[in-house]
């Protein structure tokens, strides 16, 4: 089902500060930046490697508001790992397969994700406490 880890999403209060830290400390390059109003985030993708069907990245996330998913997470838990995203071939198909096994989907239809991807989230309570994202990367 999963081809690779697409990205690890990290919640932060100051995107510019964390971009500077990750790019300098780990010699990673920012390959995309986006404001995603629907998800309530300002985000940056730092490239790590290329894999089957797409790359793998660190995703740095700053909330657009306090009542957004990342805003609430920061208030409750502080900065840190917010979600893990897996690369899949077909997000709609994978959502259906996983849902059949009793895992709740947080999205009924795929949504727009970073770099032209299509994404969907699974409920963290059904995945051992890990907010899980499915990513179908844009065709290259």
Q: Which burial class, exposed, middle or buried, applies to 84 when counting CB atoms under 10 A from its CB (0-12, 13-18, 19+)?
A: middle
> Does the protein bind ligand V0V through residue 110 (CB under 6 A)?
no
The upper half-sphere exposure of residue 28, i.e. CA atoms within 13 Å in the direction of its Cβ, equals 22
CA distance 46 to 39: 19
Evaluate whether 124 touches 84 at the Cβ level (below 8 Å): no
Contact 133, 9 (CB under 8 A): yes
Q: Which of 49, 129, 139, 140 binds ligand V0V (CB under 6 A)?
A: 129
Closer residue to ligand V0V in complex, CB, 23/127:
127
| Closest to ligand V0V by CB, 50 or 66 | 66
By CB under 6 A, residue 70 contacts ligand V0V:
yes
34 Cβ contact partners less than 8 Å away, ≥ 6 residues apart: 42, 43, 114, 115
Least distance (Å) from ligand V0V to the CB of residue 16? 18
Q: Which position among 39, 43, 82, 136 bears the catalytic label? A: 43
Binding residue for ligand V0V, selected from 10, 12, 39, 54, defined by CB under 6 A: 39
60 makes contact with ligand V0V (CB under 6 A): no
Q: Are 72 and 91 in contact (CB under 8 A)?
A: no
Residue 82 annotated among the catalytic residues of the structure: no
As annotated, the active-site residues are 7, 43, 59, 83, 133
Site residues for ligand V0V per CB under 6 A: 9, 36, 39, 41, 59, 61, 69-70, 72-73, 82-83, 85, 106, 113-114, 117, 119, 121, 124-125, 129, 131, 133
């Amino acid at each position: 089902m999963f081809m690779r880890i697409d990205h690890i999403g990290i919640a932060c209060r100051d995107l510019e500060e964390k971009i500077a830290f990750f790019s300098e400390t780990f010699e990673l390059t920012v390959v995309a930046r986006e404001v995603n109003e629907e998800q309530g985030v300002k985000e940056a993708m730092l490239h790590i490697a290329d894999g089957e069907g797409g790359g793998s990245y660190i995703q740095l996330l700053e909330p657009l508001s306090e009542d957004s998913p990342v805003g609430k997470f920061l208030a409750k838990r502080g900065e840190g790992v917010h979600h893990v995203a897996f690369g899949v071939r077909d997000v709609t198909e994978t959502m259906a397969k996983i849902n059949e096994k009793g895992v709740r989907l947080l999205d009924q239809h795929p949504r727009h994700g970073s770099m032209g991807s299509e994404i969907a989230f699974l409920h963290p309570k059904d995945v051992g406490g890990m907010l899980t994202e499915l990513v179908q990367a844009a065709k290259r």
